[in-house]
Amino acid sequence: MTLYSVLPTGQDKVAVLATWPGEDSESHSAKVTSFTNLGQAARTANDLTRVSEAMWDAAAWLDVYDIAEAALADLVAAVRESGDLPLASKSMFDGCRHAGSWTGINIIGLLSSELPATLNTLNQAQRLSVSEELAVDARARTASLALLPSGFDPEKPASRIWQAADITRAAKFGLTGPLPDCAAAWVARVYDTQRGPAQRWGAREAIHRIERLEAAAQTVNGRGGASLDDMSGPVAHLVLPLELFGVQMDQSTGGVKIEDQVNPLVAGSALARAFRDFAAANPARVAGDVVFYVAPDIEVRKVAPWDLDVFAKLVITTSWWGQGAAELGALDATDTAGFIAALGGWVSHASFRK
C-alpha cells in the first residue's frame, strides 16, 4: 500500500506525504497537500492510507476490484469539482464472491461514507491535490495488472508497482485464516518475503486457482477446501459426490452400481475416467465420495523458501481408499482449459475477474 503520513512544516502548517516501497525496499515519497488543521490532516492521511491498502489488496486478490476501482474513479472525478461528493452504493458488491472479505467490507465503508465525508471538508486546492494523488495510485494499480502477468518487474526503481501483491496491514486479519483474506500472507509464509512483484504474482496465480477450485466445488455439492500446510504449502483438498460420476453405493451387495450416464459437469474429464475405471475394477473398495488434491509441485520440507519455484505447476492427485495416490496431471495455474479437461466443467463455476 501507499502510506500517508503527516509532517509538520512550520508556521502552523502540516503536509500530508505519500510514501511507498520501491526496488530493494527503498522508500519513495511525494507531497500530497498542506493543511493548517492537524486533525483534518491526520484524518485525510488515515483515510487515504486505508483506501490505498484496500485497493492494492483487492487488485491482487479480490473479484470486487473492478467495481471498486470504477467507484473510486467516479469519486476522484467528483473531487475535482465543487460540491458534495457521491456516495458509493453499499450494495455495489452484491453477487461478488469476495464481497464479505475483510478488504471488501472495508472498501464499501470507505467509499460509501468515510472517504467522501473526509474529502468534503477540504478546500478546492486540497481537493485537487488529493484527487491527483488518488489517481496516481490507481494508475499504478492498473499498470501492475498489465505488467506483472508477463513475468517482469517494473523497470523504474521508484515505481509503485513494487508493492503489488505484498503483505499490508490488511493481512493482519488473515495471517493464518481462510482465503482470500490471508492470500498475501500465504505467499510470504511459503515463498519468503524477499520476492519481487512478478514472483509474488506467480505465487498468486497458484493460490488463486486453489481458492477458485474450492469455491467451484461447493457449487456441485462438493466439500473440503483450501489450506496452508507449513510442511507442504498451499493445497486444495476437495471431495466430489459419487453421483456426479454415475456411481452409486449398492447396499445390497456392498459394492457399487455404475450407470451409463455421467453428469455433464464431469463427463469426459480425466477424473471421471479414472474414478469410473477404478470403481469398475474394484467395486468393493469404493468407500465414499471422490477425493483429490491440488497443490504446487514444490518440496517445502526440502528446499529453502527463497529457492522454491513460484511458477511451479499444480499437480492433481487422486486419493481413493485402498488405492494410494495417483497423479492425474500437472498444469500451469492459469490453464483453465486444462483444469476443465482434468476435472470437469464445474471448474469454471467460480471465475475471478473478466
In order, the DSSP letters of 73-110 are: HHHHHHHTSSSPPP---TTTTTT-TTTTSHHHHHHHHI
Q: Does the pLDDT at position 1 exceed 70?
A: yes
| The pLDDT of residue 204 | 95
Please report, as a single letter, which amino acid is at residue 58. A
Lowest mean pLDDT of 93-102, 166-175, 236-245, name the range. Answer: 166-175
Cα separation, 147 vs 157, in Å, equals 15
Q: Does the pLDDT at position 174 exceed 60?
A: no
Alpha-helical (H) ranges within the chain are 38-61, 65-79, 102-109, 115-119, 124-147, 183-191, 197-218, 270-281, 336-343
Residue 222 carries which DSSP code?
-
Mean pLDDT of 328-350: 96
Ordered by start, the domain boundaries in the chain are: 3-163, 183-349
The number of CA neighbours under 13 Å toward the Cβ of 193 is 7
Q: Does the pLDDT at position 171 exceed 80?
A: no
Cα separation, 186 vs 205, in Å, equals 12
Q: What is the dihedral of CA 74, 80, 84, 88, to 10 degrees?
A: 10
| The pLDDT of residue 52 | 96
| The pLDDT of residue 146 | 96
232 vs 124, higher pLDDT: 124
pLDDT tens digits for range 255-296: 778 898 999 999 999 999 999 998 888 887 887 889 999 999
Mean pLDDT of 317-334: 85
Q: How confident is the model at residue 354 (pLDDT cuts 50, 70, 90)?
A: low
Residue 245 carries which DSSP code?
G
Q: 237, 224 in Cβ contact below 8 A?
A: yes
Q: 331, 339 in Cβ contact below 8 A?
A: yes
| The pLDDT of residue 285 | 81
Lowest mean pLDDT of 74-83, 232-241, 315-324, name the range. Answer: 315-324
Q: 20, 49 in Cβ contact below 8 A?
A: no
Q: Which residue has the cell 496516481?
A: 136
Q: What are phi and psi of 29, to 5 degrees?
A: -135, 155
- Nearest 5 degrees, angle CA 154-CA 155-CA 157? 90
Q: Does the pLDDT at position 5 exceed 70?
A: yes
Q: 61, 184 in Cβ contact below 8 A?
A: yes
Q: Does the pLDDT at position 123 exceed 90?
A: yes
Q: Does the pLDDT at position 170 exceed 70?
A: no
| The pLDDT of residue 172 | 55
pLDDT tens digits for range 66-87: 999 999 999 999 999 888 898 9
| The pLDDT of residue 236 | 95
